Chain A
């Protein structure tokens, strides 16, 4: 429980309408006034609060208003604070915090686009989630039907800021990229080789995911959660199930907690090793990538043995996991983890002993701590720039409470350190798996559940391999969802790329981009 919640409520005094603790993971504090600026400024300056996310909800039919929620975490406290404000539905608007908290820039604009709630004094109030050529619709308003057929899009998709000056050129890239990657548009302004300025246009893969959740039965919605970002299927699936479990007070069996932890770590390992290989490729060390992709294949094969799917899909469910493992699955896990450890050492040795590789990666794509903090950078990219956050340690879930997590934190902030964080995290993940293999992995895989009380809400967070994943849900009647807010770490981290590439040469862009390896689908949903 938030240790200081009473003192806090006292400090905010008359601003507080009510305080409610739904469960041990979250406290709701509703403000009397629609202006959250004074409260958030106190929470940040006096309580070192970090605003992790902001999102909205259409409650016009139940409460005759919209709500805007700010999710705030405090150092050393495992519970989150959800600060909510009522937004008048006749003239919906809410104050922007983006000038003080640039990290909220996109998220506030997304609320504008999706709900039609205006963000007052936003420094850049242009559309972000819906492209400029979309008609004037707000898909997350309840009256907007999921299957609305929109007219043909016309006009300009996005007006990029012109970059002017002698010898300055603009290079457009995308949305279809040269490699096997997701779509998005990058507009580079360059003077000679160095990049002056990068503008991003995302949300090409927006496929109505949050809207789709609404009305979906929670069991079915697990599959949708697994498709938010394919490389994080298990993390997003777990984050979603955990939210439902918290909303419905469904206790997770110990076996399921341990199995989820193992599978979450396998997801981290396969992605990290693939990224290490991909970073090597982008500086011309293809053979290292051949080995890295061979290693990823070892984990994919194991994933299939353990879950029937190479991307770990179809295993997590509300209340636990689908099935327990038999002895042969457990021995495959043991064997692979053991074999992988030494293979991984060989790979790392190959890469770090290559001076030319090191030369290309060090001091390339630097993201400084102050910038990273302003932009709210999380996960691998944050830790490489000195931001010591890890949901596994800060808000323990699954079986992580049994472990001491010491995330690697560096202040280099370059491609090399983003790779180094991954290099450090892989053996740490393997250690967690090995320790769990020594624990009891028998018992019930799942707690059955019945009807979840309508209107139950819950927040859930998971340290996906990229960083902090958050799901917030409200369950309605018949175990169907009213709302599901998804925050993928990519949404936080894209603006970091813009900072990190400045002054670097265009040919280094691929490796800088790869060192972040952000999900377009997770961002765009």
Chain B
């Protein structure tokens, strides 16, 4: 007993000040790759190295159609290294949660030179997901009700629908004394019947489709679904194949998407608190 108390006093308080204070993040952390579209002279090298096709380029009739989908990004930094003109910068931005899938996507059009490099930027617009969410989400009004109902005390049921377990490590970290999610009245529960929110990780595998659906239906309304990580958003590096259906929104309606591979605990915190109206969306790509 004495030892336990002694350890506690010796350690003191270790909990982070985030989100009230800035997050304490190491210098080398790779967050959002920001693209300076007018300065981008060639999208091909980045598209070539990107391991998940988060950056893709298609040429048609002298015009290059470039899609950047942060819902696929695993934040490896290769695109910045492959782009010598410095048009892609790896930033430490990590508050990337959004409410709508398309808010993670930009679509740019370039006129091309003879050698295939960009001559001029024709337009940058919000893009559309290659695969639209299959499940319908709740309307705006209902969401406000949900915030009012769940905002002060939220019970989360985590559902691994096929992840590599990387996201689970970071979700676990939310319960450690550093991130201590319970200080916000948020806690993890063992049954969907006790839950207000499902936190879904992984590409949804064929084998987990039914279990995810059943878990969703067992969660009392009003309920929220948060899709975690590149896989939870889009299927990530696994994409859609004979065994994987892609992102969570192919099976259940998703209210908030949290990019990352995996998202760091602060990013999870921001996305979860955003879903209940206690933090604001920070990422606005088109502005």
Question: With an 8 A cutoff between CB atoms, is B160 at the interface?
Answer: yes
Among B14, B52, B203, B215, contact of A207 (Cβ-Cβ < 8 Å): B203
Please measure, in the bound complex, the distance between the C-alpha atom of A144 and the C-alpha atom of B241, giving whole angstroms.
11
The verdict on A233 contacting B207 (CB below 8 Å), with A147-B240, A287-B4, A305-B26 known, is no
**A64 contacts across to B, CB distance below 8 A:** none
Indicate whether A314 reaches chain B with its CB closer than 8 angstroms. Answer: yes
For A311, list chain B residues within 8 Å (CB).
166, 169, 262
Interface flag for B191 (CB, 8 Å):
yes
Q: Is A148 an interface residue (CB 8 A)?
A: yes
Determine whether the beta carbon of B4 is less than 8 Å from that of A207: no
**Neighbouring B residues of A509 by C-beta, 8 Å:** none
User: Is A11 positioned at the interface, with any CB of B under 8 Å from its CB?
Assistant: no
Q: Which of A12-20, A163-171, A172-180 contacts its partner? A: A172-180
A52 to B: closest C-beta gap in Å: 23
Check if B242 sits within 8 Å of A149, measured CB to CB: yes
| Given A230-B165, A304-B29, A305-B28: A208 and B11 interface contact (C-beta under 8 Å) | no
A182 / chain B contacts, CB cutoff of 8 Å: 160, 163, 165, 168
A308 at the interface (CB under 8 A from B): yes
Whether the pair B202, A205 counts as a contact (CB closer than 8 A) is yes
Q: Which B126-143 residues have C-beta < 8 A from chain A?
A: none
Partner of A294, one of B160, B177, B188, B215: B177
Contact A297 B173 (CB under 8 A): yes
When distances are taken between beta carbons in the complex, the residues of chain A under 8 Å from B210 are: 153
Contact at A227–B162, with CB atoms within 8 Å?
Answer: no
CB-CB under 8 A from B3, the residues of chain A are 349-350, 353
Asked, given contacts A308-B28, A308-B29, A350-B7, whether A208 binds B238 with beta carbons under 8 Å apart, the answer is yes
Are A206 and B205 also in contact (CB < 8 A) when A294-B178, A314-B30 are? yes
Which residue, A183, A300, A353, has most C-beta atoms of chain B within 10 A? A183
Query: Does B211 interact with chain A (Cβ within 8 Å)?
Result: yes
Q: Is B22 an interface residue (CB 8 A)?
A: no
Q: Please tell me if the beta carbons of A290 and B75 are within 8 angstroms of each other in the complex.
A: no
B177 & A293 in contact (Cβ 8 Å cutoff)? yes
CB-based contact A314/B176 at 8 Å: no
Counting CB contacts under 8 A, is A212 at the interface?
yes
- Residues of chain B contacted by A153 (CB below 8 angstroms): 206, 210
Interface presence of A197 (CB below 8 A): no
Q: In the assembled complex, which residues on chain B have CB atoms less than 8 Å from the CB atom of A62? A: none
Q: Which chain B positions have C-beta within 8 A of A139?
A: 242-243
CB of A202, distance to nearest CB on chain B (Å): 10
Judged by a CB distance under 8 angstroms, whether A223 is at the interface is yes
Interchain CB contact under 8 A, B176 and A297: yes
Contact with A along B196-219 (1 / 0, CB 8 A): 000000110111101100010000
When distances are taken between beta carbons in the complex, the residues of chain A under 8 Å from B25 are 304
Among A190-241, those with CB < 8 Å from B are: 203-209, 211-212, 219-220, 222-224, 227-231, 233
Q: Which of B75, B77, B191, B208 contacts A205 (CB 8 A)?
A: B208
B66: A residues at CB distance < 8 A: none
Chain A neighbourhood of B75, CB < 8 A: 309, 314
Closest chain A residue to B50, Cβ basis: A220
Q: Are A204 and B28 interface neighbours, CB within 8 A? A: no
Q: Is the CB of B26 within 8 A of A230?
A: no
Starting from the known contacts A146-B241, A176-B215, A211-B242, 20 additional A-B residue pairs (CB-CB under 8 Å) come to: A134-B206, A137-B242, A148-B241, A148-B242, A182-B163, A182-B168, A183-B211, A205-B202, A207-B244, A229-B165, A230-B168, A290-B176, A297-B178, A304-B29, A305-B28, A311-B166, A313-B76, A314-B75, A349-B3, A350-B7
Listed by A's residue number, 16 A-B pairs whose Cβ atoms lie within 8 Å are A175-B208, A176-B192, A204-B208, A205-B160, A206-B207, A207-B203, A208-B238, A212-B238, A227-B166, A230-B164, A231-B169, A287-B8, A304-B28, A309-B29, A349-B3, A521-B163
Chain A residues with a Cβ under 8 A of chain B:
131, 134, 137, 139, 144-150, 153, 175-176, 178-183, 203-209, 211-212, 219-220, 222-224, 227-231, 233, 274, 287, 290-291, 293-294, 296-297, 300-301, 304-311, 313-314, 329, 346, 349-350, 353, 519-521
List the 6 shortest-distance A-B pairs measured between CB atoms, nearest first.
A230-B166, A293-B176, A178-B190, A223-B51, A208-B243, A304-B26
